[in-house]
Structure 1
C-alpha cells in the first residue's frame, strides 16, 4: 500500500494491505461511473472486472435487431458532467444499441477509465475475510485479488435465461438469445425463423426480423400491452431548449417518481368522465413513450376499477391495428392489469402480424412439447426452422448476483440467504455482508425507473458512504438486521397495496421456475427514495453499523 493510500484511509484507520480499495463488477452505466467516482474524484484505487470484451454492460450484450432505449435520449445519459451532457448529440428520441454503446465507449475514453477495466474476465466468487476485514475476489482466469469494498454493478437484467424445454440443445440450426446476440449481427434473409417470447426484447425484434425472414413464427406465452414509441429525430428547437435547461431538467427528473419528466394526473381515473379519460389517454398515446404508464391517473396501479378503464382502452387500440380478429384476440392481454407488467415501447409491432410471412402461435393454447433437431413441436403441430431466437428474458435482479459465489460473515452464501427472496437495506446492502454494495439492487427503485437516474443516485450514495468512512476511520459498514427486516417489509407492504403482485411478472420472479414469488423492486419512487437515502446519511447512517 502506498503512503498516499494510507493517508487517504484516515488517521484512525488500521492499515490493510489490499490490491485495491474497491473491486467493481461490470462495465456498464453503473461500473463506469463508479470507477470514475472512486478513482478520478476520490483518489482511490479500483479495478473493474467485465465479462465482455468491451465496455457497455447491457448495451454490449443486447445487440438484437431493434435494441434501443425506451427512455428519451436526453435523460438516458449521465448528468454528473454538464459539459459531457451539453456536448453529446443523440440522433433520435430513443437511441439505439450501437449509439448507446458508442456513448459509453466515449465516456470510458473521456475519463481515462479503460486502464482500470479488465475485460473478458468473469468474477466467479467473492468472500469476506473477517480476520483481515477485506474481500477476496476470484475470477474465471484463476486470479484472486483483495479489496476493502466489493461493488456489484452487474445490472438488473444481465442473466439471460433459456426456458427448460425438452430437447432444448437438440436443434441443429442456428439459435440465438436476444441478450447474448453475436457481435457481427445476424442476417435472416430468406430463412424460416421461430422466435419464442414476446416481452420487451421480442416486441422490439419481431418487426425487424419479419422484414428479413422468409417466414417468421412467433411463439407467445403472454400477450403484452405495448405503447407506441413514436421514435424519430428530435426537433432542433426542442434540443436547443433542453440544452438551455440543464439544471431544471435534472432537478425535475431526479425528484420524479420514475426518473422521467412525467408526472401522474393528480386525480383518480373515475373522477373524470369517459370523454375526459379518452382525451387524457389519447394525448399520451399520440405523444408516445411512457406517459401512458407512469404519467397517467394516480390510481391506476392501486384501483382495479380505475385500471380497467385504461386496460380496456389499450385493448381497443390493439384491435384497431391488427387486421385478423383471431390474431388480434391472441395479442390482447386479458390476464393482467395494464402497467403491472413491464410495458414495452414498440414500433410497428402489432402491424408485423398483418404481414403474410408472420404467424402467431399461442403456447398457452398449444404448449411447446419439445425442440427437435429441425425446429420444434407443439401439441398440435411440428415446425421446421433454419433459426430459432429465444427472446425469453432474464433471471432479473437477483440472478446476476446469485451467479457469483458471494460469501459474507461466517462463510454464508448470499444466494442461500436469499433462498426465499432478496433481503436488503435500501436495495444497496445486506446484513452480514460488510462493505458489499449493490448498484440498483433488489429493494431499490431501479427497474421501475429510468435506469441512469437511479444508477447515478446509488453510485453517488455509495461514494458518500465510502468517503465518510474514510474521514472517520471506519473499516466496515453493514446494515443491522432490524433495518434490513424493516426495509424488506416496507418494500413488500408498498407492493401489496397495489395491483402489481397479482400479475405473474419478472418483477415477482414468476418467469423463473422455482424462484420465490417476491416483489423485488421498490415502488416508492425515485424522488422519495433519494430523499430517504439523504435522510439516512444525515442521521449518521441510521440503520447501519460502522466498525472502526
Structure 2
C-alpha cells in the first residue's frame, strides 16, 4: 500500500483551468499537487489535435488576463489561434511560472472520499504508479468537453478501415488519397472537413441536422493591429468583464424588426464580412436569441449565403438548416465552399438515415453503401457531467456525485455542490454561457476567494480561545469585508466551506428562470445535454451574462459567503 501524501490542495486536470488553479493555490502559499491522465498539460487542447482545430475566440482574448506582460509580449500571428499554438501557449505559461514542479502526468484520479474525522479528502489515483493523497481542498478541473461521445450505430465495431474520434486523433494519421466519411457537423466537424477536403480522394459528410455557420474572418495579424491591441489591453479586458458573452464583440441592443428590410440586410452583411459567430449573433441586433421573428431573419440571411456560395442546388438544399439559429454560434474558414469541390459530397440523413455501419463503409436506409477507408466521428462529448460520472467521488455521509446528479448536473455558481465540503469544480454545470477563458478565470477567482476565506479563518482560529470572540478582520472575506460570526471559529480547527442545499437549489432555479424565453431551448444540443440519447434535458448554463455572474460573485464574496455553511 503506497504511503499517503498530504497536501493542502489537490487539483485534478492540467488544462486551462487546472493550470490557473495551480498557479493561484501555489501563490497563496499552499502545498499543491496537480495531476492529469495525459502526458503533458493542455487539457482539451492536448487531446483535440485534429486538422483545422482552432479556437473561435480572437487570439488576443484566448489567453489568461492576469499576466499583462505576457499579454503584450507573447506572439500570436492569426486572428484565431490554432491548436498547436494554443498548446504551445499553455506550455509556455507553465514554464514561465514554474508550475510543472507541482504537476504529475499519466495519473488519473479514480476515487475521492471525504473523511469526516480528519475533514480531508482522501484521493486515490492510478497510472504509472498508484498515488494516495490526503488534501484539505479538492479542486476538480476535469473539463467541460472531455469525455468523447460515440453515437449508438449498429455495426460500429465491424468497420474494417480506420475509425477515429476527432478528440483522439492519431499523430501519424495520413489521409491523403483516402475515401473519408465524417459523422458530425458541429464546430469540430466543420473545422476538420474544411481542412481535409483538399487532400483526400473523397469526403462524404453525413448530416442529420445541418447547422448555421458564418465566416470566422481568419487572417494574419498586422503589426498595426497588434500594436493597437497591446496599447488598449486594459480597456479591452474592462469591456470583457462588463459584457454579456465576453468575446470582445459589440453587443447590440437594437431590435431586429425595428429596422427596415434594407437596414437588416446591411447590418447582417457587415457582421458577416467582419466574421465571428458570436459577432453575427449579438452585434447586428440584440434580440436574435429571444425573438423568433428576429431569429428567422438571421436564418433567412445565412440560408441565402449558402445558396450564393454552394453552386449545386441539391447540396445547398441539404446544407441549409431547417430549424432556428439557436445552437452555439459557429464560424468557419471556408466550410460551405468545400462543397463546390467534386470530391466532397453531403448525405441527408433525415431523408435516408444510416441503417448500419458495414466493414466497407456506411449503408443508409435506401440501401446505398458509401465505401470508405476512414470513418471520422466529430460527434462531440458527453459534456460537463461525463467526466464526473466515471469517477467515484463521495462526499458527506457517503453521498456520491452520481447520486447528487441523478436528475441532472447541478452546482452552485458552477463551482460547489451541497454535501461535498471543501470540494470545488472548474467549468461545472450552470456556469456562464460566455467566452470560455474569462469564464474559467472568473470561476477560479471565486473558488480561490472561498479558499482564502477559509485560510484566513484558520489563522484566526489558532489564536482564539475556545468559544471566544472572533476577530473581525481574520473572519472576513478575501478583502476583509464580512461580518463576524464567532460560532464558526474554534481554536486550531480549519474552517470548512460547504454550500447549502438551499443556496444550490436557488441557483438552479435562477438558471432555469433565465433561460425562459430563450430560443436556445428550441434546439436539441449539448448545451442542454440533449446530444446524449435518453438523457433528461437540463439547464447546464447560466444565461445571465458574464457581468451578471461577476456581480453575483461580488455579492457572495463581499458579504461573507452567505450561501456557504462555514464551520469547523
Which TM bucket (shorter chain)? over 0.9
Match of 1:83 in 2: 69
Matches within 5 A, 1:148-547: 148-182=136-170, 184-289=171-276, 290-335=278-323, 337-338=324-325, 340-380=326-366, 381-445=368-432, 448-473=433-458, 474-547=494-567
Give TM-score scaled by structure 1 length.
0.94
Distance in 1 of aligned mates of 2:136 and 2:355? 50
Distance (Å, rounded) in 2 between the aligned partners of 1:185 and 1:98 = 15
CA deviation after TM superposition for structure 1 residue 547, in Å? 1.1
Q: Deviations over 1:72-126 (max 9, x none)?
A: 0001001111111111010100010000100001111111111111111121221
* Gap regions ≥5 residues in structure 2: 459-493
For the 8 Å contact 1:54–1:119, the answer to whether it is kept is yes
Structure 2 distance, partners of 1:365, 1:533, is 48
Alpha-carbon RMSD across the aligned residues, in angstroms, is 1.3
CA distance in 2, matches of 1:130, 1:371: 51
- Which runs of 5 or more structure 1 residues have no equivalent in the other structure? 1-16
State the match for 1:3 in structure 2.
Answer: none
**Superposition deviation, residue 288 in structure 1:** 0.4
| Map of 1:42 onto structure 2 | 28
**Residue 422 of structure 1, CA deviation:** 1.5
The two structures have a TM-score, normalised by structure 2, of: 0.91
d(CA) in 2 for partners of 1:219, 1:285: 26
CA displacement 1:474-499 (0-9 Å, x = unmatched): 43111111111111011011112211
Compute the displacement of 1:282 (Å).
Answer: 0.9
Contact 1:419 1:516 (8 Å CA) reproduced: no
- 2: CA distance between counterparts of 1:378 and 1:295? 41
SS at match of 1:212: coil
Any idea what SS the aligned residue of 1:428 has? Answer: coil
The answer to whether the 8 A contact 1:18-1:134 is kept is: no
CA distance in 1, matches of 2:72, 2:176: 40
SS for the counterpart of 1:517 is coil
Q: Is the 8 A contact 2:5 2:132 kept in 1?
A: no
CA distance in 2, matches of 1:101, 1:527: 28
- Which residue number corresponds to residue 10 of structure 1? none
Structure 2: how far apart are the matches of 1:37 and 1:79?
A: 13
| Structure 1 counterpart SS, 2:561 | coil
What is the Cα deviation at residue 18 of structure 1? Answer: 6.3
SS of the equivalent of 1:194 reads strand
Whole-Å Cα distance in 2 between the matches of residues 364 and 412 of structure 1? Answer: 43
> For the Cα contact (< 8 Å) 1:53–1:119, is it kept in 2?
yes
Considering Cα pairs closer than 8 Å and 6+ residues apart, tell me whether 1 or 2 has the greater RCO. Answer: 1
Q: Deviations over 1:176-203 (max 9, x none)?
A: 1111112x24211111111111011000
Question: Residue 506 of structure 1: CA displacement?
Answer: 0.7
Distance in 2 (alpha carbons) for counterparts of 1:294 and 1:442: 23
Q: Distance in 2 between matches of 1:320 and 1:188?
A: 30
Three-state SS of the structure 2 residue aligned to 1:106 is: helix
Aligned length: 526
Does the Cα contact within 8 Å between 2:34 and 2:103 map onto a contact in 1?
A: yes
Deviation string 1:384-417 (CA, Å, 9 cap, x unpaired) is: 2111111000111121222222111111111222
- What SS does the aligned partner of 1:531 have? helix
Q: Which residue of 1 aligns with 2:479?
A: none
